[in-house]
């Protein structure tokens, strides 16, 4: 379930708990109907307050005591004397501002719960508040119990609201969030299955892991290098190639194009755009949203352009590729895509965390990314230079997805299957300051 639905579910559940608590208070009272000629509980309370006969009624009758101190102390829970149904005759009981019991019952500010995810022999626990937002700044801890009853405690040392455990044995685990400070933690534990093998399934809770560039060192993390430049032969077409029979003219953009006038771009003849959704940091491996992604996708769609997206990968395992694809799916879920979600497979200057992957692992990463996006209902594909497609990927396993070939030449030399060609990085398009990548999509 997405984060919006999750928040509504949490709030609805807490409301149901509040209703049940009130019903329990009512059910625990006396159900005997008052006899004719005798005061009801409410009448007895009035008599006591006025100094009438109610002040001398005994506790054995279930009527109110004349001791004002006991009446005040019980009032917070809705009880009048020994009468557990007293709140029914109190017109101010349901006024949260004047009732400590209800105020504490409905106070959501310190209620927290956990979201658990396993991709492959691991477990990620996210601590969220009543609105479903990640809670940071505290050293939260969990108690993890396996199927054999063996327990261990794990702590959120960096206080980011996420507790991660790797290299776990597959099976079912009980996860309990331990009490901390004045937070209201769940009473019951959560059961989660740690998977033995990665499944190419969208991770619905991934949005909590996506960072902004304000939270990272973008200069170090965003270090993709276009390998296509190495094969450029100075014959590249630097002008937009207008659409024709079975082909469309387009561009691809990221934060490096800055603010774009999308109406001018559309008027210039651009029919589609592939927008960078984000990237995985080449140093820390953080999932990062491109700071211009939302602005770009809204502007392009408003201008009537067809849209696809891409994500620069630095995944080193299938599990990380599933995370990357899930991050993109979560980011585009509110928008209409008519073109694929692409994984951008290229180097990060030689020092990137994924630069040393062998051909087999890199192919698995691309396959996991594309299949996860496809399983989530999106068309998907792989972007790479001609050399990369030939030497770093096993394309016999990836041609079941769309292929986006980057070659800065007049005629592509890649002989394999592809549906899009990036033919220049030096294009000029009205509405964009500076250079922009130019593309042709074949359909």
The least confident of 38-42, 104-108, 207-211 is: 38-42
At residue 174, does pLDDT exceed 80? yes
What confidence score (pLDDT) does residue 22 get? 56
Structural domains in the chain plus CATH codes: 3-30+38-105 (no CATH), 112-194 (2.60.40.10), 208-442 (3.20.20.80)
Encoded tokens for 379: 């068309």
Residue 399 has pLDDT above 90, yes or no: yes
Please state the rounded mean pLDDT for residues 234-253.
93
Q: Which pLDDT score is estimated for 72? A: 38
Average the pLDDT over each of 14-23, 126-135, 412-421 and give the range with the smallest value.
14-23
Cβ atoms within 10 Å of 231's Cβ, excluding its own: 16
Helix (H, G, I), strand (E, B) or coil at 159: coil
Pairing relationship of beta strands 341-344 and 272-280 according to DSSP bridges? unpaired
- Specify the higher pLDDT residue, 11 or 416: 416
**Greater pLDDT, 413 or 29:** 413
Read off the pLDDT band of 231 (50, 70, 90).
Answer: confident
How does DSSP assign 347-409, residue by residue?
Answer: --TT-STTTT--HHHHHHHHHHHHHHHHHTT--EEEEEEHHHHHHTS-TTTTTTSEEEEE--S
* pTM > 0.85: yes or no: no
Question: Mean pLDDT across the stretch 19-38?
Answer: 47
Residue 331 predicted with pLDDT over 90: yes
pLDDT at position 21 is 56
Mean pLDDT of 69-75: 39
Q: Are 437 and 425 in contact (CB under 8 A)?
A: yes
Task: Tell me the pLDDT band of 46, cut-offs 50, 70 and 90.
Answer: very low
Residue 109's pLDDT is 80
Give CA 357 to chain center in angstroms.
28
- pLDDT greater than 50 at residue 254: yes
pLDDT for 329? 98
Output the DSSP codes for 325-361: HHHHHHHHTTS--SS-EEEE----TT-STTTT--HHH
For position 50, what pLDDT does the model report? Answer: 39
Q: Give me the pLDDT at residue 7, please.
A: 55
The pLDDT score that the predictor gives to residue 226 is 87
Q: Please tell me the predicted confidence (pLDDT) of residue 230.
A: 85
Q: Check residue 374 and give its pLDDT.
A: 98
Among 9-13, 197-201, 273-277, 353-357, name the one with the lowest average pLDDT. 9-13
Confidence of residue 394 (pLDDT cuts 50, 70, 90): very high
- pLDDT at 244 (0 to 100): 84
Pairing mode of beta strands 287-289, 341-344: unpaired
Q: Could you give the C-alpha distances from 1 to 5, 9, 115, 206, 292, in angstroms and in order?
A: 6, 10, 11, 11, 26
Q: pLDDT per residue over 343-378, tens digit each?
A: 999 999 888 999 999 999 999 999 999 999 999 999
Can you tell me the distance from the alpha carbon of 406 to that of 382, in angstroms, rounded to the nearest whole number?
A: 11
């Amino acid at each position: 379930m997405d984060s919006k639905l999750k928040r509504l579910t949490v709030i609805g559940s807490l409301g149901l708990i509040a209703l049940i608590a009130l019903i329990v208070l009512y059910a625990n009272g006396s159900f005997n109907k008052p006899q004719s000629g005798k005061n009801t509980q409410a009448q007895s309370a009035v008599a006591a307050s006025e100094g009438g006969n109610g002040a001398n009624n005994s506790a054995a009758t279930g009527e109110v005591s004349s001791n004002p101190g006991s009446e005040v102390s019980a009032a917070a829970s809705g009880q009048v004397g020994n009468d557990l149904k007293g709140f029914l005759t109190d017109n101010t009981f349901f006024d949260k501002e004047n009732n400590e019991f209800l105020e504490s019952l409905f106070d959501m500010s310190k209620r927290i719960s956990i979201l658990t995810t396993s991709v492959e022999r691991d477990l990620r626990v996210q601590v969220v508040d009543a609105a479903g937002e990640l809670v940071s700044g505290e050293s939260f801890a969990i108690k993890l119990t396996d199927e054999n009853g063996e327990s261990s405690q794990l702590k959120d040392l960096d206080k980011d609201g996420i507790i991660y455990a790797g290299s776990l044995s597959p099976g079912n685990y009980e996860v309990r969030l331990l009490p901390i400070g004045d937070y209201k933690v769940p009473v019951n534990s959560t059961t989660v299955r740690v998977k033995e093998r990665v499944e190419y399934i969208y991770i619905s809770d991934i949005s909590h892991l996506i960072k902004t560039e304000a939270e990272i060192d973008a200069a170090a993390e965003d270090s993709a290098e276009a390998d296509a430049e190495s094969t450029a032969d100075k014959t590249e077409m630097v002008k937009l190639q207008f659409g024709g029979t079975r082909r469309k003219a387009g561009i691809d953009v990221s934060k490096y194009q800055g603010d774009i006038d999308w109406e001018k771009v559309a008027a210039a003849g651009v029919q589609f755009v592939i927008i960078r959704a984000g990237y995985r940091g080449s140093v820390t491996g953080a999932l990062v949203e491109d700071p211009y992604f939302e602005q770009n996708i809204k502007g392009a769609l408003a201008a009537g352009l067809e849209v696809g997206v891409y994500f620069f990968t630095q995944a080193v395992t299938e599990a990380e590729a599933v995370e990357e694809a899930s991050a993109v799916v979560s980011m585009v879920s509110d928008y209409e895509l008519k073109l694929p979600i692409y994984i951008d497979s290229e180097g990060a200057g030689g020092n990137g965390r994924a630069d040393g992957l062998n051909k087999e692992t890199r192919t698995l990463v691309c396959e996991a990314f594309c299949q996860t996006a496809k399983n989530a209902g999106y068309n998907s594909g792989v972007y790479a230079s001609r050399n990369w497609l030939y030497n770093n990927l096993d394309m016999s396993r990836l041609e079941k997805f769309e292929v986006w070939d980057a070659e800065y030449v007049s005629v592509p030399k890649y002989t394999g299957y592809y549906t899009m060609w990036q033919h220049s990085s030096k294009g000029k398009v009205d509405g964009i300051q500076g250079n922009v990548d130019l593309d042709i999509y074949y359909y």
